[in-house]
Amino acid sequence: MKIVSLLIGIIMFFPKLQLAQEPAFVKGADVGWLPQMEATGYRFYDTDGQEKDCLQLLKDRGINTIRLRVFVNPSDDPASGHCGKEETVAMALRAQRMGMRLMIDFHYSDSWADPAKQFKPAAWVNHNFTALLNDLYAHTFDVLNALKKAGVSPEWVQIGNEIPGGMLWPDGSTANWKQLGQLLNKGYEATKAVNPKIKVIVHVDEGNNNAKFREFFDNATAQKVKYDVIGLSYYPFWIKKDYTETIADLQFNLIDMAQRYKKEVMVVEVGGEDDKVQNTYELLTATIQAVRNVPDQKGLGVIYWEPQGARSWSRYNLSAWQADGKPSPALDAFKN
Q: Indicate if the pLDDT at residue 104 is higher than 70.
A: yes
Q: Quick one: pLDDT band at residue 22, thresholds 50, 70, 90?
A: low
Q: What is the residue type of 283?
A: L
Of 85, 100, 80, which Cα lies nearest the Cα of 29? Answer: 100
- pTM for the predicted model, two decimal places: 0.93
Q: Indicate if the pLDDT at residue 253 is higher than 90.
A: yes
Instruction: Tell which wins on pLDDT, 24 or 12.
Output: 24
What DSSP assignment string belongs to 246-305?
Answer: HHHHHHHHHHHHHHHH--EEEEEEE---TT-HHHHHHHHHHHHHHHHTSGGGTEEEEEEE
pLDDT of residue 21: 52
pLDDT of residue 81: 82
Q: Indicate if the pLDDT at residue 10 is higher than 90.
A: no
CATH dotted code for 26-334: 3.20.20.80
Write down the domain spans for the chain: 26-334
Weakest mean pLDDT among 76-80, 99-103, 163-167, 329-333: 76-80
Contact predicate 103/157, CB 8 Å: yes
Residues 6+ apart with CB under 8 A from 163: 113, 115, 118, 202, 203, 204
226-252 pLDDT, tens digit per residue, is 999 999 999 999 999 999 999 999 999
- Residue 84 burial (C-beta neighbours within 10 Å; 0-12, 13-18, 19+): middle
Q: Known catalytic residues?
A: 162, 269
How far is residue 129's CA from residue 200's CA, in Å, rounded to a whole number? 22
Q: Indicate if the pLDDT at residue 179 is higher than 90.
A: yes
Contact predicate 41/32, CB 8 Å: no
Q: Quick one: pLDDT band at residue 336, thresholds 50, 70, 90?
A: confident
| 3 state SS of 231 | strand
Q: Quick one: pLDDT band at residue 78, thresholds 50, 70, 90?
A: confident
Q: Indicate if the pLDDT at residue 69 is higher than 50.
A: yes
Q: What's the rounded mean pLDDT across residues 148-154? A: 97
pLDDT of residue 237: 98
Distances (CA, A) of 2 to 15, 16, 326: 21, 21, 56
